[in-house]
Structure 1
Amino acid sequence: MIDVILKKGKEKAVLHKHPWVFSGAIETVKGKPANGDIIRLLDSKKDFLAFGFYNDRSRVAVRLLEWDENIAVDDNWFRDKVRVAVAGRAHILADGSTDTCRLIFSESDYLPGLIVDKYAGHLAVQILTSGMQNAMPVIIDELNTLLKPESVFDKSDATSRSHEGLETTNVLLAGTHPPELVMVKENGISYGINIAEGQKSGFYCDQRYNRLLLATYAKDKKMLDCFSYTGGFTLNALKSGAASVTSVDSSALALETLEENIRINQFEGTAHSAIKSDVNAQLRKFREDGEMFDIIVLDPPKYAPSRSALDRASRAYKDLNRLGMQLLNSGGLLATFSCSGAMDMETFKQVLAWAALDAGKQVQFVYQFHQPEDHPVRASFPEGEYLKGLLCRVW
């Protein structure tokens, strides 16, 4: 096994079990490992630190796997990590009201670069590192052994794969090709999921409990669901008796699927409308038309993919939330989210305070939203905490 030796004084994060080693921390690579190979990481005194995946194409040159020198990182190691992750989600699926969740969450489940989502009898995977790409045969075999899925579909279309020297993929890995709409349940609501063509792995299961909580406020209220995608917040609100819901998204495919989800759940008689539009432009149009709402959901895509983008993202979040606040009736509720890992909760609160000031509004933080337990945050890897949100009462 090839040794990668750190510069003097660069071992602190490794000793604290953080799983990333940046290229600038490396002094020497003894040999020529292929990208994705497992290497031994040593400190400047040549003492063992950990085993990890190596990739000289990535700024994160080593992704650490195991800190015990006496434990071999072999097929059984990967199988064990998969078994533990899957077993830890069993309670989410136990009562039958939900049959979709995240089974493996990358570094947080000690499998850096691997995401696996369960959609009823189908699995969607995203492989984001070259090392995990090499390990996929044994991982797929273990998933097949544990779950016997109808299909395992590779949704590795993230642009971040290019940092590892990998091309994007969108192919069937095992089983039979999933149908155009895979039917799943979440919180007792049915959804048609387009695994092959949908965004990310097909469905955003990280908002499961947040959708359920917000729906408790929705009865007899007029709600606006922005960046609605296939209708998670919309459908929960309609089920809870919202007076009306307007869903806005820029994707025609997402809105077509949302309308199908409304039909599947027999919500056709409800007051629902879908608008295909850029959200910021549509919010301005609502303002011009004097349209007002009791509840507004703002769940935008990732505005800050890195710390360097945080200032620009903060301005975008502020402008978006300012527009939302201006469309709320006095005492109305704003459920606003950020899925940018670089945006911490305190910064997000400050951005909302600026938005309230610009909108001429008073804001009370009622509740802090977060990602559910199938998206755990590893104590030594706080970067895994990416989803945060606030329920705000606005006057």
Structure 2
Amino acid sequence: MKKDVTLTVKSKFVNKYKSGYPLISKEAIINWNEVTEEGTIIQLVDEKNKFIAKGYFGKQNKGYGWVLSRNENEQIDQRFFVNKLRDAINYREPFFNSPDTNAFRIVNGEGDGLGGLTIEYFDGYYLINWYSKGVYRFREYIINALKELVEYKAIYQKKRFDVSGKYIEEDDFVAGERGTFPIIVKENGVNFAIYLNEGAMVGVFLDQRDVRKRIRDAYAEGKNVLNTFSYTGAFSVFAAAGGAVKTTSVDLANRSLNKTLEQFSLNGIDADAQDIIVEDVFKYFKYAVKRQLTFDMVILDPPSFARSKKMVFSAEKDYKNLLKEAISITEDDGIIVASTNSSSFNMNKFKSFIDQAFRETGRKYQLVEEFPLPKDFKTIKEFPEGSYLKVVFIKRLP
């Protein structure tokens, strides 16, 4: 690694970084022009040249780098990453010992002191996600640390820092024996097909584990369930496993049809008894209203930002209207599972969207329960943006 670069923090941001805030932002630094190469170790100091923290320079959508240590003498070397990964793995020990779940996250970025990096575990396969060129500069350290600490079938990686925002297609295999895909993993006793060789999206979003289990165990039995933005149908599979009389999965992506059929098949669920529809969700809502279709449960888990040929969806601007569409086709005493992974607003703001949507439709509601990220998605209180997942179960009252 090249020589460290010292960056001076503006006085109004000093206390924020001293209190443990990990994301290095451009507006907080006086002399950004002194660092140009991603992966450079940077020392943060105040305007009196007093040490605050050290980290690395790496651009991603959240900011310009991450704090790694608050110890001036700590070296960012192989041993540093071994210690960080060991702590992260030890924290997830209960997951490794689970008899019915073998897919979970073992490093959750800044929650484990390693901003810009996540690592996930899929039944002996490890998947590293690099979110900037900066963190990718530590690739050898991190991969070697992982090899030192765990037994593995194979290690795969995803480079998520393409400037266009799209995933760079290339060979993702790193070490071990190449997998034969799909590999079949378990989540709370339900099977999922996982592809580590098909781009950034591997088959299931692990952060919704607790929500899926709750739907299966407490809500699905005897219900007619609509799953919107359904991706590979994970919510539908859990609803069907919980005794739903029927599930309807709607997603705009063509791949969603075969992916959802695959997940149903893996779990012995008759796909012919379910509906899988490839269509724009907003268009489907209009169709459902026209046909007077209603549901006992509507699941809303849109991306925080999405673009189709006819419209652009932003959770911050458009979630209220999405909820209004859902309310119109939810039965009295039915449940809407409202979910967002947007980090641009907090739970209170999200609940204000819910309240506005019900008021504007003239309907009453009850907040039943809510879910944050599961335990393996470790977060820190100093970085509330890291607790991005917000899920609320809402009952539409008569």
Aligned to 2:87: 84
Aligned to 2:309: none
Query: Which one-letter code corresponds to 2:279 in the other structure?
Result: S
Deviation at 1:198, TM superposition (A): 5.5
- Of 273-282 and 357-366, more deviation after overlay is shown by 357-366
Secondary structure of 1:142's aligned partner: helix
1:138 has 2:138 as partner: no
Whether the aligned pair in 2 keeps the contact of 1:124 and 1:195 (CA below 8 Å) is: yes
* Whole-angstrom distance in 2 between the partners of 1:271 and 1:343: 38
Whether the aligned pair in 2 keeps the contact of 1:196 and 1:202 (CA below 8 Å) is: no
Instruction: Trace 1:223-238 onto structure 2 (pairs within 5 A).
Output: 223-238=225-240
Aligned to 2:310: none
The gaps in structure 1 that reach 5 residues or longer are 305-310
Aligned to 1:222: 224
Deviation at 1:363, TM superposition (A): 1.1
* Whole-angstrom distance in 2 between the partners of 1:233 and 1:115: 23
Q: 2:269 aligns with which of 267, 270, 280?
A: 267
- Of 19-28 and 42-51, more deviation after overlay is shown by 19-28
* Whole-angstrom distance in 1 between the partners of 2:114 and 2:69: 10
Aligned to 2:351: 349
- Of 330-339 and 138-147, more deviation after overlay is shown by 138-147
Secondary structure of 1:36's aligned partner: coil
Residue deviations 1:11-57, cap 9 Å, x none? Answer: 12111110123223323369656321112211110111111102489
C-alpha RMSD of the superposition: 2.5
| Cα gap change, 1:300 to 1:198, in 2 (>3 Å) | farther
Secondary structure of 1:27's aligned partner: coil
* Whole-angstrom distance in 2 between the partners of 1:393 and 1:18: 37
* Whole-angstrom distance in 1 between the partners of 2:75 and 2:219: 52
Deviation at 1:76, TM superposition (A): 0.4
Instruction: Trace 1:149-298 onto structure 2 (pairs within 5 A).
Output: 149-157=152-160, 168=168, 170=170, 171-197=172-198, 199-215=200-216, 216-268=218-270, 271-298=273-300
* Whole-angstrom distance in 1 between the partners of 2:203 and 2:246: 26
Aligned to 1:307: none
Secondary structure of 1:21's aligned partner: coil
Residue deviations 1:245-265, cap 9 Å, x none? Answer: 111112232331221121111
| Cα gap change, 1:267 to 1:198, in 2 (>3 Å) | farther
Whether the aligned pair in 1 keeps the contact of 2:167 and 2:199 (CA below 8 Å) is: no
Tell me the TM-score normalized by structure 2. Answer: 0.90
Whether the aligned pair in 2 keeps the contact of 1:125 and 1:201 (CA below 8 Å) is: no
Tell me the TM-score normalized by structure 1. Answer: 0.91
Deviation at 1:121, TM superposition (A): 2.0
The gaps in structure 2 that reach 5 residues or longer are 307-312
Q: 1:95 aligns with which of 93, 98, 103?
A: 98
Secondary structure of 2:30's aligned partner: strand
Whether the aligned pair in 1 keeps the contact of 2:157 and 2:174 (CA below 8 Å) is: yes
Q: 1:127 aligns with which of 130, 148, 170?
A: 130
Whether the aligned pair in 2 keeps the contact of 1:2 and 1:30 (CA below 8 Å) is: no
* Whole-angstrom distance in 1 between the partners of 2:247 and 2:59: 49
Identity of aligned residues (%): 27
* Whole-angstrom distance in 2 between the partners of 1:56 and 1:228: 31
- Of 146-155 and 182-191, more deviation after overlay is shown by 146-155
Deviation at 1:356, TM superposition (A): 1.2
* Whole-angstrom distance in 2 between the partners of 1:300 and 1:244: 21
| Cα gap change, 1:262 to 1:58, in 2 (>3 Å) | closer
Secondary structure of 2:391's aligned partner: strand
Instruction: Trace 1:308-323 onto structure 2 (pairs within 5 A).
Output: 313-323=315-325
Secondary structure of 2:368's aligned partner: strand
Whether the aligned pair in 2 keeps the contact of 1:5 and 1:46 (CA below 8 Å) is: yes
Whether the aligned pair in 1 keeps the contact of 2:232 and 2:259 (CA below 8 Å) is: yes
* Whole-angstrom distance in 2 between the partners of 1:338 and 1:242: 23
Deviation at 1:202, TM superposition (A): 4.0
Whether the aligned pair in 2 keeps the contact of 1:23 and 1:59 (CA below 8 Å) is: no
Query: Which one-letter code corresponds to 1:80 in the other structure?
Result: N
* Whole-angstrom distance in 2 between the partners of 1:265 and 1:313: 32
* Whole-angstrom distance in 1 between the partners of 2:319 and 2:60: 32
Report the count of equivalent residues. 387
| Cα gap change, 1:256 to 1:9, in 2 (>3 Å) | same
Deviation at 1:317, TM superposition (A): 0.6
Whether the aligned pair in 1 keeps the contact of 2:343 and 2:385 (CA below 8 Å) is: yes
Q: 2:116 aligns with which of 113, 118, 122?
A: 113
* Whole-angstrom distance in 1 between the partners of 2:160 and 2:61: 17
